[in-house]
């Protein structure tokens, strides 16, 4: 049974992840923080399921900058499987073309991580010209993460979380003390 919330495709047993959305004055700063968090993930300081930069442009348009291009990932996977099936049926070129097309289509229709419609709706609430970083965090060490991102703390503001009130207050205090 799927739970209707900000997560797409997550089942009841996967509800250990937390949503944290942090606002920034510019898209560049949100992208920079996401890049630093990806580096911290390689150091096992944080485990991210998704990291999306939300941008509410000056023109009023909302842009979601996904960490993974699902259509491209699907096309790559589809190309491999299509070529393999094509080899079995002695027509690898046709298999490659059909597999790439099918993979790209299925990848474009996939929505893993944070629900895109939820992110678009949330982006509308941001001031024009600003951005936010939406994170689906499975695990992490908040004090070490905030300490490493200290230079961004003065510009960061918590927009939304699924944390308990006590944990959200702790995160606010960490951000405030890092500023």
Nearest to 21 by CA among 147, 156, 124, 113: 156
Give 9-23 pLDDT, tens digit per residue. 443 334 468 899 999
CATH 1.10.1660, applies to 7-68+113-178:
no
Which residue is it, tokens 């003065």? 154
Give 130-179 pLDDT, tens digit per residue. 999 999 888 888 888 888 888 888 888 989 888 889 888 888 888 888 77
Which residue is it, tokens 């702790």? 170
Cα 91 to chain center, whole Å?
A: 38
Q: List every span in the chain annotated with CATH 3.40.1520.
A: 7-68+113-178
Q: Summarize the chain as % helix, strand, coil (round to 5).
A: 50, 25, 25
């Amino acid at each position: 049974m799927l739970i209707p919330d900000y997560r797409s495709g997550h089942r009841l047993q996967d509800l250990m992840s937390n949503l944290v959305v942090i606002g920034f004055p510019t898209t560049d700063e949100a992208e920079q923080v996401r890049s630093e968090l990806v580096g911290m993930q390689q150091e096992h300081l944080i485990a991210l399921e998704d990291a999306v930069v939300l941008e509410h442009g000056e023109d009023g348009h909302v842009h979601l900058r996904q960490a993974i291009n699902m259509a491209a990932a699907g096309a790559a996977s589809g190309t491999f499987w299509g070529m393999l099936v094509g080899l079995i049926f002695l027509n690898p070129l046709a298999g490659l073309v059909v597999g790439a097309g099918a993979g790209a289509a299925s990848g474009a229709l996939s929505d893993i991580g944070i629900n895109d419609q939820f992110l678009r709706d949330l982006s509308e609430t941001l001031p024009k010209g600003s951005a936010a970083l939406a994170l689906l965090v499975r695990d992490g060490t908040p004090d070490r993460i905030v300490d490493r991102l200290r230079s961004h703390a003065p510009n960061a503001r918590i927009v939304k979380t699924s944390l308990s009130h006590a944990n959200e207050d702790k995160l606010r205090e960490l951000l405030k003390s890092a500023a």
